[in-house]
Amino acid sequence: MPRARPGREVAGPASRLDVPARTLARWRERRDQIPARPTRRRWRGHGTRLVRLAAVSGPPVDQPDHDLVLVVDFGAQYAQLIARRVREARVYSEIVPHAHAVEQVRLRRPAAVILSGGPQSVYAPGAPQVDPELFHAGVPVLGICYGFQAMALALGGDVARTGLSEFGRTTVSVGAADGAVPTGSAADGGRLLAGLDGEHRVWMSHGDAVQAAPPGFATLARTAGARVAAFEDVHRGFAGVQWHPEVLHTEHGQQVFEHFLVEIAGCRRTWTMVNIVEEQVEQIRAQVGGGRAICGLSGGVDSAVAAALVQRAIGDRLTCVFVDHGLLRDGEAEQVERDYVAATGVSLEVVDAADRFLDALGGVTDPEDKRRVIGREFIRAFEAAEREVVAAAGAHGEKVGFLVQGTLYPDVVESGGTPGGHGGGPSHGPSHEPSDEPSGAASGAATIKSHHNVGGLPDDLQFTLVEPLRTLFKDEVRRVGEQLGLPDDMVWRQPFPGPGLAIRVIGEVTHERLEILRAADAIARAELTLAGLDRDIWQCPVVLLAEVRSVGVQGDGRTYGHPVVLRPVTSEDAMTADWARLPYEVLERISTRITNEVRAVNRVALDLTSKPPGTIEWE
């Protein structure tokens, strides 16, 4: 797990990082004086089982040399997006709940801290506040929206409800307010907003506003509803903005992050996909040693990339098991058996369990029951194959001691875990794809549905987990897949839920209904690919309303067929999504082909619901 190293040297030319040497030395000295916690061993729950962890304290040992930025989550829907923007600036980041911010700063010794937005007013009873101790830890801090206001209040500024709320796109004016001159340069927005347009559009969402910056801060920008919309104190490494620089609706948002990270905090930009691959391969070799590992391939990109990384690290000592549950899209099972093996050389065991899954799903219509049935049958099928693999290894005097999983960082955040340990992490089976569940980092969020990843880990798990993607977001996983040479159509395939087409058939799952849906889905995916839209949308589920029929006319006859629903969405992390504005001619081709070629379907509908309020998948 990447961490900051005490006493690090800041890379890059001095002209790029114009932070006084005395300031950097003072930050490092104060940070290194934070008392380390004693090393201890503890047991921490992981789903239905316990995994023994060692808590690490003091200077990190044998860790990749990346600076760490901690994103403190105050309940923001965009906390993960902030962390991703930091990584896009090639600096490693993690999310921590606000209640443990100071503890994590002491333990992790980050290079910088970012305070996220949040849904509450800083004056509301019980609203989360910033522990003032955070600002005495010698760590640069950036406040965003709620974090900006909480920072101002903690440091002696004035925050008030002015009656001028701002929501959505807002024009911000960069420059000194009330005659104040920003620290760092004459009147151009200081270090944080240097070089940005004097007026540009940003995304706001606030009712309270900072009326006066804390002592020692320079005001950098203002809007009609916020006389202090940005400020900074470069000498202490503090800065903040009222708007949301992380969302795409904000102009110059990435520049704001990069100015803070590089020009104010002095972070090194070492987080690249090439480094990630090299470091993960080294870590896997160190963890597995001369042992053997087993991995469940789902057909999705996450398990494929995880297995490819482990394969590169330990070669033929990895055996992959692909359980074909008969619920995949057209051609996916064949792609795993043919293309993936050709690209990686992995040893693959295929389990044909389609009939078993269909028999178990007979008569089941409730979506949660479908997930439970599929999870149960997956574990049974996987365990049977696992026993064969373990027995074959044992016959040669070897032991299979490791289980590879494609756990991603959003899985960890949503389940309240941490990238460095398995405690509180996801207890899903070997198939990993994005969830429609809310983030649980800031507090205990309500469960919308069971996680899309199929299965669960048994109580008596005899393996040590290997989770090489545990620190990565989905877009980073795809780039790692490209680095590993996986086929593009596998790396860039649309996210697909672990239960497969079973939760896109609304009603009982039957062989006939799966064939109808599989044919309609194949047409939609083919037309999107032909139109060059594969990387413009997040995914486009096709849903079969199996219990609904509608009257239609085909040829000269009356039909009574099923409707299907197209659900094209755009998203960055599946936590929020918007319906995709596909060209009418593409929609027309999809609809015409489906009703012409899939005889059981006589109506195609389009889902125009964003998330929230609707989830991406219908079930």
Kindly report the CATH number assigned to the domain that includes residue 251.
3.40.50.880
Alpha-carbon distance 288 to 399, whole Å?
A: 11
Tell whether 308 and 232 lie within a shared domain: no
Type of residue at 143: G
Any domain includes 37: no
* pLDDT value, residue 75: 82
Tell whether 451 and 581 lie within a shared domain: no
Q: Which of 46, 66, 244, 325 is catalytic?
A: 244
Over the Cα atoms of the chain, what is R_g? 26
Among the candidates 264, 293, 317, a domain finishes at: 264
* pLDDT value, residue 414: 67
* pLDDT value, residue 320: 94
Any domain includes 602: yes
Tell whether 385 and 460 lie within a shared domain: yes
Clarify whether 249 is annotated catalytic.
no
Least Cα distance to 47 among 422, 463, 408 occurs for: 422
Q: Which of 94, 166, 232, 246 is catalytic?
A: 246
* pLDDT value, residue 183: 43
Token pair, residue 341, equals: 């093996």
Any domain includes 41: no
| For the chain, the helix, strand and coil percentages under 3-state DSSP, each to the nearest 5 | 30, 25, 45
Least Cα distance to 55 among 43, 66, 64 occurs for: 43
Any domain includes 40: no
Tell whether 451 and 514 lie within a shared domain: no
Among the candidates 491, 525, 541, a domain finishes at: 491
> Judging by DSSP bridges, how do beta strands 40-46 and 601-606 pair with one another?
unpaired
Q: Are 498 and 452 in contact (CB under 8 A)?
A: yes
Token pair, residue 18, equals: 């114009």
Tell whether 162 and 259 lie within a shared domain: yes
Tell whether 65 and 190 lie within a shared domain: yes
Name the residue with tokens 């996983």.
477
Tell whether 245 and 149 lie within a shared domain: yes
* pLDDT value, residue 99: 87
Tell whether 470 and 400 lie within a shared domain: yes
Packing angle of the helix pair 273-288, 474-483 (nearest 10 deg):
80
Task: Give 10-residue mean pLDDT values along the chain (619 residues).
Answer: 39 37 49 39 26 28 71 85 92 90 91 90 82 91 93 90 77 69 52 91 84 92 89 94 89 95 94 89 94 89 93 94 93 86 88 95 95 91 90 89 89 64 37 41 41 46 87 90 89 86 96 97 96 92 95 83 96 81 97 95 95 88
Q: What is the domain range of residue 517?
A: 504-606
Q: Are 561 and 549 in contact (CB under 8 A)?
A: yes
Alpha-carbon distance 36 to 133, whole Å?
A: 16
Least Cα distance to 115 among 133, 138, 135, 141 occurs for: 141
Among the candidates 264, 285, 306, a domain finishes at: 264
Any domain includes 35: no
User: How many angstroms separate the Cα of 236 from the Cα of each of 138, 171, 360, 551?
Assistant: 8, 28, 62, 70
DSSP 340: I
Tell whether 72 and 159 lie within a shared domain: yes
**CATH code for position 596:** 3.30.300.10
Clarify whether 398 is annotated catalytic.
no
Half-sphere exposure (Cβ direction) of 344: Cα atoms closer than 13 Å: 34
* pLDDT value, residue 179: 42
* pLDDT value, residue 343: 85
Tell whether 361 and 328 lie within a shared domain: yes
User: How many angstroms separate the Cα of 376 from the Cα of each of 434, 456, 459?
Assistant: 20, 8, 13
Tell whether 350 and 209 lie within a shared domain: no
Any domain includes 399: yes
* pLDDT value, residue 261: 96
Q: Which of 145, 267, 295, 320 is catalytic?
A: 145
Any domain includes 356: yes
DSSP 3-state of 472: coil
Any domain includes 36: no
* pLDDT value, residue 205: 80
**CATH code for position 389:** 3.40.50.620
Token pair, residue 187, equals: 């009147």
Domain count, the chain: 3
* pLDDT value, residue 459: 57
Q: Give the pLDDT confidence of 560-612 residue by residue, as tens digits.
A: 899 999 999 998 767 678 899 999 999 999 999 999 999 999 999 999 998 87
* pLDDT value, residue 589: 97
Tell whether 130 and 244 lie within a shared domain: yes
* pLDDT value, residue 36: 41
Clarify whether 619 is annotated catalytic.
no
Alpha-carbon distance 111 to 121, whole Å?
A: 28
* pLDDT value, residue 67: 93
